[in-house]
Amino acid sequence: MYKAAVIGCGRIGFEFDFDAKRDFIASHVGAYVNSKMIELSAVCDKDSKKVKRCADSAQVPAYLDAEDMLVAEEPHIVSICTPPDSHLELVRLAVKHGVKGIFCEKPISESVRDAREMITLCKKNEVILQIGFQRRFCRAHYGIKRQIDDGLLGEPLNATGIYTSGILNSGSHMLDLLLLYFNTPKMLRGYSSKKLSHKPGDANYDVFLRYRDDFVCSLHACDSNDYQMFELDMLFTKGRIRIVECGLSMELYAIADSERYSTYKEPRLYNIIQTDLSKDFMVRAVNHLANCVATGHESISNGISALKGLKLVKWIVYSAEHNREVVL
Ligand SMILES: NC(=O)c1ccc[n+]([C@@H]2O[C@H](COP(=O)([O-])OP(=O)(O)OC[C@H]3O[C@@H](n4cnc5c(N)ncnc54)[C@H](O)[C@@H]3O)[C@@H](O)[C@H]2O)c1
């Protein structure tokens, strides 16, 4: 049994599980408490009220200082659930105190240089670094990836995504999904969006990505004050997949003769599946990390893939600011 500790008892660290409408485990603390491979040993937050509430609920010791906790508890695994500008400093601390696995929330960092240092430090010290892009822990998304890789959907033609709340904050989830499915685009162009992100320092951008001459993707930002949205519509020569409800469900279409017009073919909806994102993805994520620590294998959501996504974010901002496309 591995021992884990959580730094940051805010929303993703702990509080999401108090949302009465979420009927699944969505926090790191909840995931460790429900894991059969890992035991939660302590939690830390510099906010005394937050850490007390979390520690009382999980019935583990509370710490106000991360280093004090690492020294006293000697956890094998540490979750970093603090804002991105603190991730590097906390990774340094965790590595210094001999942890074997780090589950760091997305985005890996705000800066490419910090992200590189986090990856190098973990590699040098044989620490598994896992980043919290949760769709990578969802079997349904991997199922789609397998279908794409095996050619079952034919060739990709177009993709259209909609996101809210900042290109780094939520846009990075979208870019990570596109990296998982289609790897890095050949060219991109970013445009500043008038739709407000409400994340200080993290604006919204509309984005055009070209993967091949005949396969392009466009991403559109929305204002979260209007409503939340995270959707991706992908057209292939042999089918269409629409990821809707923030990834909680997927519409599957086959290409069939039109029932309305002679000679035309159309995508026809044949199934709507509820993805396992709504179930135990967070528990699966921490168990995956424990398995990686045991075997030395890279996580399926690792620092390198997160760095690729962060670089795309930086190029999108650069492209919009310089009013030019970027060849990758
Ligand atoms: N994967 C997802 O879908 C998802 C969802 C929400 C947030 N996140 C990510 O999780 C991270 C945290 O976001 P949040 O919304 O939970 O933030 P939050 O503000 O709700 O919580 C962060 C907590 O960290 C604490 N903290 C900050 N620095 C600390 C330090 N050095 N030591 C101890 N505690 C410290 C704060 O006091 C706060 O309680 C961000 O990187 C964010 O992007 C990911």
pLDDT of residue 278: 60
The ligand 1 atom nearest the CA atom of 47: 37
pLDDT of residue 18: 87
Domain(s) of CATH 3.30.360.10: residues in the chain: 139-274+311-327
CATH class held by domain 139-274+311-327: alpha beta
Domain(s) of CATH 3.40.50.720: residues in the chain: 2-134+280-297
Report the C-alpha gap between 161 and 224 in whole angstroms: 15
CA of 35 to the centre of ligand 1 (A): 21
Rounded average pLDDT over 142-169: 95
Q: How confident is the model at residue 21 (pLDDT cuts 50, 70, 90)?
A: confident
pLDDT digits (tens, 9 = 90+) for 30-51: 999 999 999 999 999 999 999 9
Q: Please state which of the ranges 47-51, 183-187, 248-252 shows the lowest mean pLDDT.
A: 248-252
- The residue whose C-alpha atom lies closest to atom 25 belonging to ligand 1 is 8
pLDDT digits (tens, 9 = 90+) for 53-69: 999 999 999 999 999 99
* Beta-bridge mates of residue 243: 232, 250
pLDDT of residue 313: 98
What CATH number is given for 2-134+280-297 in this structure? 3.40.50.720
Report the C-alpha gap between 10 and 142 in whole angstroms: 29
Is residue 246 classed as helix, strand or coil in its secondary structure?
helix
H or E segment and range at residue 162: strand 156-164
pLDDT of residue 315: 98
**Residue 165 near residue 222 (C-beta atoms within 8 A):** no
Mean predicted lDDT score pLDDT of the chain? 95
Distance in angstroms between the alpha carbons of the first and the last residue of the chain: 44
% of the chain at pLDDT higher than 90: 90
| Alpha-carbon distances of 149 from 113, 146, 186, rounded to whole Å | 32, 5, 18
pLDDT at 104 over 90: yes
Of the residues 6, 11, 25, which should be mutated to test ligand 1's pocket, given the most ligand atoms within 8 Å of the CB? 11
Cα–Cα nearest to 223, from 248, 209, 206, 201: 206
pLDDT of residue 276: 67
pTM, to two decimals = 0.96
- The residue whose C-alpha atom lies closest to atom 27 belonging to ligand 1 is 82
Q: Write down the residue that tokens 């035991």 correspond to.
A: 39
pLDDT digits (tens, 9 = 90+) for 194-238: 999 998 899 999 999 999 999 999 999 999 999 999 999 999 999
pLDDT of residue 277: 61
pLDDT at 129 over 90: yes
> What would the two tokens of residue 80 be?
């970093």
Peptide bond into 156 cis (omega under 30): no
